[in-house]
Amino acid sequence: MLGIVCEEIEQFKLIELPEPAVVEGEAIVRVKRIGICGTDLHAFKGNQPFFSYPRILGHELAGIIEQIGANEAGLAAGDQVSIIPYMHCGQCVACRSGKTNCCTSMKVLGVHIDGGMREFISVPITHLIQTNGLTLDQSAVLEPLSIGAHAVRRSGLAKGETALVIGGGPIGLGVIAFAKYAGANVIAMDINDERLAFCRSWANIDHTVNALQDAKENLSQLTNGDFPTVVFDATGNTKSMMDAFGMVAHGGTLVYVGLVKADIAFHDPEFHKRELTLMGSRNATKEDFDLVYEAVKSGGIDVDSYITHRSSFEGMIGEFESWLKPESKVIKAMVEL
């Protein structure tokens, strides 16, 4: 079978790989869609933490089951599936408490272990979600949207609260969508006005703020001086993540959804006087995937507009670097097999 490997920084190669063997408790899935994520872009450029080369990328995956044994999930050959790419141990302190998304021995497909940029992949049956009621495109974006859904669920955001989402990329859009889904008043912040316009139209949010144009003053005006009670930073930008401390209401919550390969510092008196809660949000759980599945199936999420660029499998190598350029205006790129 064919696969694409990131051999080293900024270098992809199309290679021939052995087909996966049938393993008890796992299913062989024919990969049909691969969503391109910020993680893939960072890995390609050498900026992804916990990463080594060579590596087969790809963790936003949808496909068709080719082979599967008897299983309690009721899955069968021919079923369309989305893949939960977070391989947890099931035994550590996090897993024992149901927080499989932050397992101490976490192995994420396409990051710590080889991912789905190949024609077939063997996946634990426990990590498959049957999506016969969705399109392949919809199935592939369950994962990035679930990261946003998990962040919102973890924050405890309640109906009627005001949420600020900093960063209008694919993950930020997922946060925006599920903050709105939770009934919050949602403000999106970015440095790109076109991206902000997309946030407003795509998720029908309440307000947008350009981060480069008196952002803090504008936020104050929009909230009558209170500031948002929950702030999500999905930028993966050090300065933005530090500046976010000054944009949260007293008694509020700041959630880091993005990941940056750097140290983050904050001014403790500002943190203390607000009695802020600072959270990290990592990956997602099956419960989050199930929530996103229902939201997408009901038509609550516009996947067609979310996917802006496409390529064939072999054509991806030539297209990938252009997706890094701001002028390409990529929101979500999708690879088709």
Spell out the domain ranges in the chain: 2-141+307-336, 148-280
The whole-number average pLDDT for the span 114-132 is: 97
Contact 179, 200 (CB under 8 A): no
* Element at 108 (helix H, strand E): strand 107-108
pLDDT of residue 36: 96
pLDDT of residue 188: 98
From the list 238, 266, 246, 323, the residue with the least C-alpha distance to 57 is 323
* Three-state secondary structure call for residue 215: helix
Structure tokens at 73: 């999930």
pLDDT above 90 covers a percentage of the chain that reads: 91
Distance, CA of 279 to CA of 239 (rounded, Å)? 17
Give the residue from 153, 149, 196 showing the smallest Cα distance to 174: 149
Q: What is the pTM of this model?
A: 0.94
pLDDT of residue 297: 95
The pLDDT score that the predictor gives to residue 14 is 96
- Distance, in Å, from the CA atom of 225 to the CA atom of 249, rounded to the nearest integer, reads 9
Look up the CATH number of domain 2-141+307-336: 3.90.180.10
Q: What is the CATH number of domain 148-280?
A: 3.40.50.720
CA dist 205 and 189 (Å) reads 11
